Chain A
Amino acid sequence: AQRVTQPEKLLSVFKGAPVELKCNYSYSGSPELFWYVQYSRQRLQLLLRHISRESIKGFTADLNKGETSFHLKKPFAQEEDSAMYYCALSGGTSYGKLTFGQGTILTVHP
């Protein structure tokens, strides 16, 4: 069975501080990992995926297969980063269905 764990339900940082949102997964095969974000009063949207190895809005995430982690990082948090962040795993099924973590609410204080 596949599982995604986000241990922090709430995370608060000050503007300009580094931020790391943790994500651990459990999956027997080769997973595809994603970070989705939901800003206030907006729909869920894709932030980044591990396979693209890109930085979006200053965020990066590296897949660590040894630690089965996919932590999301940003060196200098901004107030507009305040949102709900979900880590998600696609287990390589034919249709790409996602298993979501519980989500982390990030609040960036001025």
Chain B
Amino acid sequence: GAVVSQHPSWVICKSGTSVKIECRSLDFQATTMFWYRQFPKQSLMLMATSNEGSKATYEQGVEKDKFLINHASLTLSTLTVTSAHPEDSSFYICSASSFRGSRLGEQYFGPGTRLTVT
């Protein structure tokens, strides 16, 4: 099956610094990648939808200047948390999809990245 990787799997950074998280589709070309945030014991909250070669579409309430998303190729999307603060500490998960038509909504998920801001 299709595999999506994330790097790093966990990161600790100081308040005010920026952190970049990579999401790669290893064996398929992902026309669309999604970034989610998950708080402890809560569901996944979609942050943004990213299409290769175009600007990401952010969900309401998500600061696009704080969470920079780049989808430069069909196998790589990056999420940069800029000027991180402790409240940005969370589990960030990406997913990738290349489906259309009736298979829209089928996504392959990465393992997630645990971000801790001190």
Contacts and interface: CB of A to CB of B under 8 A. Distances in A.
A109 B4 CA distance: 32
B112 A43 contact: yes
Contacts of A45: 108-109
B105 A49 contact: yes
Interface in A3-58: 32, 34, 43-46, 49, 51
Contacts of A96: 32, 97, 99, 104-107
Contacts of B42: 102
A32 B44 contact: no
Contacts of B106: 34, 46, 49, 96
Interface string B69-97: 00000000000000000000000010101
A101 to B, nearest CB: 6
A44 to B, nearest CB: 4
A95 B107 contact: no
Interface residues of A, number: 23
A92 interface: yes
B49 interface: yes
A86 B44 contact: yes
B43 A97 contact: no
Interface of B: 4, 32, 34, 42-44, 46, 49, 51, 93, 95, 97, 99, 102-112
Interface of A: 32, 34, 43-46, 49, 51, 86, 88-90, 92-93, 95-103
21 contacts: A43-B109, A44-B44, A44-B95, A45-B109, A46-B106, A49-B103, A49-B106, A86-B43, A88-B105, A92-B104, A95-B49, A95-B51, A95-B97, A96-B97, A96-B104, A98-B34, A98-B46, A99-B46, A100-B44, A101-B43, A103-B43
